[in-house]
Copies of this chain bind each other. A is one copy, B any other.
Amino acid sequence: MLNFTFHNPTAIVFGQGSIAQLSERVPVNARILVLYGGSSAEKNGTLNEVRTALQGRNIHEFGGIEPNPTYETLMRAVDLVRSNDLDFLLAVGGGSVIDGTKFVAAAVHYQGEPWGILESHGAVVQSAMPFGSVLTLPATGSEMNSGAVITRRATKAKLSFLSDHVFPRFSILDPTKTNTLPERQLANGVVDAFTHVMEQYMTYPAGGLIQDRFSESLLQTLIDIGPRVLDPQPDEEARDNLTWVATLALNGLISAGVPEDWSTHMIGHEITALHDIDHARTLAMVLPANLKVRREAKRAKLLQYAARVWQLHEGTDEMRIDAAIARTEAFFESLGVPTRFSAYGLDATAIDPIVHQLEAHGMTALGERSDVTLAVSRQILEAAL
């Protein structure tokens, strides 16, 4: 096992009706900015639940944070906070709104040009505004971690930052909020959480026996509940577990003490930035291709994955690895999430610009062994056609 530090101070309040607990969680005299995305938070009543829980408090609101939240939009929120001297942020939405809120929290306190937060991947962040979240879409894990991904529309750059200063103080997880989500977003959530686990698990054996089993537990649970989550008649048990699994998949627990990959995400981010394809759908394209191209480097873990997650015990090593990758693709496809470029209207001409953007963003030595060069990324993209 590798040496590690694990410290996750976010309080999770989980369950139906838990939005009512906002009144205890938000400081009494806070001057609050509620941040949200599109019209769904209004339509499905979540914003009203939040307003009711915080009745009588000093509240401002800022809507319109996009999926793949943009620097351009978020800087307007930064101005609003500054001009009204607000001191507490409350994100109401999914990963995009929470990521955007983390950026606002750090940017308000930052002295320089806030894009520097992204360019430094968070290294320049020395403090941030306190904030909480009300999660409406289980997928990214942003509600219990200290990372965010922000897009700059002007340059089509999608960059991430990490800072211990941007853990939410609390996150409220009411799984019944998933009942009004479209099937596409639920399917995306399953694929996103699945890929998060794979980025932290599918590397090489490093003596993290319990981390491996926890990761396998998350993957098996997602496989069990994936189809159930899409049932139009809400399946409470499946939705409860999706909500908690998506949080646990990226809260630092399963990565503590083991190597991590993240090349699928870095390649996927460029595809989203260039082609505006849902984050999870880019992962569904890149992950299986990544496993095919790097099967030798990941051989030991692919065999463990085949046996423990997919119960594949028959045939040669090569056959079991092939089958495990095929099962992964079939699982994503079964959720209605295609795994090939062609299904998204992309062909080989898309590859050069993606590789160019990876180079522009310094993504030239990705993966758990820093051996995913631009040439390897190109092979992965070719394998995804």
Q: Do the beta carbons of B6 and A237 come within 8 Å of each other?
A: no
User: How far apart are the CA atoms of A257 and B15 in the complex, in Å?
Assistant: 9
Q: Which residues of B have CB within 8 Å of A221?
A: 209-210, 213
Chain A residue total in the interface (Cβ 8 A)? 43
**Stretch from A42-50, A120-128, A238-246, A340-348 that touches the partner:** A238-246
A1 within 8 A of B: yes
Find out whether the CB atom of A220 lies under 8 angstroms from the CB atom of B225.
no
Q: Is the CB of B3 within 8 A of A18?
A: yes
Is A16's beta carbon under 8 Å from chain B?
yes
Supplied contacts A1-B14, A4-B15, A208-B241, 14 more A-B pairs, CB within 8 Å? A1-B237, A1-B240, A4-B14, A5-B13, A6-B11, A207-B237, A209-B221, A209-B225, A209-B241, A210-B217, A210-B244, A213-B218, A213-B221, A240-B257
Within the assembled complex, what's the spacing in Å between the Cα atoms of A248 and B9? Answer: 16
CA distance A218 to B16 in the complex (A): 29
Per-residue CB contact flags for chain A residues 207-243 toward chain B (1 = under 8 Å, else 0) read 1111001101110110011000000000011001100
Contacts of A240 in B (CB 8 A): 1, 207, 257
What is the copy number of this chain in the assembly?
2
In the complex, A256 has a CB within 8 A of chain B: yes
Question: Does A8 touch B at the CB level, under 8 Å?
Answer: yes
CB closest chain-B residue, reference A206: B237
- Which residue of the partner chain B has the closest CB to A243? B1
Contact call A6/B1, Cβ cutoff below 8 A: no
Q: CB-CB contacts of A12-36 with B at 8 A, as 1s and 0s?
A: 1111111000000000000000000
Chain B residues near A224: list those with CB within 8 A: 209
Picked from B2, B15, B241, the residue with its CB within 8 Å of the CB of A2 is: B15
Q: Chain B residues near A257 (CB, 8 Å)?
A: 14, 240, 244
Q: Is A7 an interface residue when CB atoms closer than 8 A count as contact?
A: yes
Q: CA A209 – CA B217 in complex, angstroms?
A: 9
When distances are taken between beta carbons in the complex, the residues of chain B under 8 Å from A207 are 236-237, 240-241
Nearest B residue (CB) for A218: B210
The 10 closest A-B pairs by CB, nearest first: A3-B15, A213-B217, A7-B11, A1-B240, A207-B237, A6-B12, A209-B241, A9-B9, A210-B221, A4-B14
Contact B2 A245 (CB under 8 A): no
Which residue on chain B has the smallest CB distance to residue A217?
A: B213
Inside 8 A of A10's CB, which chain B residues have their CB? 7
Residues of B within 8 A of A248 (CB): 210
| Residue in A3, A10, A236 with the greatest tally of chain B CB atoms within 10 Å | A3
CB proximity of A354 to chain B, nearest CB, Å: 34
Q: Cβ of B14 and Cβ of A3 under 8 Å apart?
A: yes
Return the chain B residue nearest A213 by Cβ: B217
In the complex, A218 Cα to B211 Cα: how many Å?
10
Q: How far is the CA of A208 from the CA of B244 in the complex (A)?
A: 10
8 Å CB interface, A175-233 against B: 175, 207-210, 213-214, 216-218, 220-221, 224-225
For A220, the chain B residues whose CB sits under 8 A away are 213
* CB–CB A14/B237 < 8 A: no
* CB < 8 Å neighbour of A241 from B8, B9, B210: B210
**25 residue pairs from A and B, CB less than 8 Å apart:** A1-B15, A2-B15, A3-B16, A4-B15, A5-B12, A5-B13, A6-B11, A6-B12, A7-B12, A8-B8, A12-B256, A14-B257, A207-B237, A208-B241, A209-B224, A209-B225, A209-B241, A210-B244, A213-B217, A213-B221, A214-B214, A216-B217, A217-B217, A240-B257, A244-B257
